[in-house]
Amino acid sequence: MSTIEGDREQCYRCYRPKSSCMCAYVRAIETQTKFVILMHPKEFKKTKNGTGRLTHLSLPNSELFIGIDFSDNARINDIIAMHESFILYPSEHAINLNRQNPLATKSLHVKKLLAIFLIDSTWACSLKMMRESQNLHGLSHISFDTTKRSEFKIKEQPSPYCLSTIESVLRVLELLTQWQIETIAPAQREAFLTPFHAMVDYQLKRIAHLRT
């Protein structure tokens, strides 16, 4: 299958050219939490530096959907109904995972597994996705604090402490483990960003090669 860079075959898992496939670097983590990745179509086209699909490959208990308005998506609505569902979104009323267990206020009599929705898009496109997807309006928002700067050296972030999708998920996993919602070993968490680092290193080498 040809790609935007030329006549090169594409990997159908990570959607990168096979010459720069990152699948071998994936260190999957099994989670109790279901992660639902809502990817904007523009993000899907970023075969060089998108981290949403790498996140999906790294989380067996995840599902990925591409679109803008998910209001009538039957599968997404089923997930919302069957889980204690939250969306990672830094609003003023978001539950801060650094300070609060998101399940602390939930009924002990109705035990549902946790589902966390992630929007994989630019900030402007995320606003549109949130606005148009009516089924997301009822989800509680969660957020986190971090002093760590993104290691996404090939992409300028909108502010110093904005993280890529896969980096954000790692922080969420760390905090869910802190609240004993997950039991993920430190070594697993440390290896989670392996495909992300490999992707960044590959692109930096490509840039350096083009400059020589």
Q: Residue 8 pLDDT > 70, yes or no?
A: no
The better pLDDT of the pair 122, 162 is held by 122
Q: Residue 5 pLDDT > 50, yes or no?
A: no
Displacement of CA 62 from its chain's centroid (Å): 10
Q: How confident is the model at residue 3 (pLDDT cuts 50, 70, 90)?
A: very low
- Between CA 104 and CA 21 the distance in angstroms is 41
The better pLDDT of the pair 28, 104 is held by 28
| pTM for the full predicted model | 0.87
Cα–Cα nearest to 14, from 3, 6, 159: 3
Q: What is residue 205's predicted lDDT score, i.e. its pLDDT?
A: 82
Q: How confident is the model at residue 153 (pLDDT cuts 50, 70, 90)?
A: low
- Between CA 72 and CA 136 the distance in angstroms is 11
Residue with structure tokens 């204690």? 84
State how far the alpha carbon of 106 is from the alpha carbons of 85, 87, 90, 112, 174, in Å.
11, 16, 21, 9, 21
Q: How confident is the model at residue 180 (pLDDT cuts 50, 70, 90)?
A: very high
Q: What is residue 158's predicted lDDT score, i.e. its pLDDT?
A: 52
- Between CA 45 and CA 37 the distance in angstroms is 15
In terms of Cβ atoms closer than 10 Å to its own Cβ (0-12, 13-18, 19+), residue 80 is buried
Q: What is residue 66's predicted lDDT score, i.e. its pLDDT?
A: 96
pLDDT tens column, 23-63: 999 999 999 999 999 999 988 876 556 789 999 999 999 99
The better pLDDT of the pair 104, 48 is held by 104
- Both tokens assigned to 78: 């089923």
Q: Residue 186 pLDDT > 50, yes or no?
A: yes
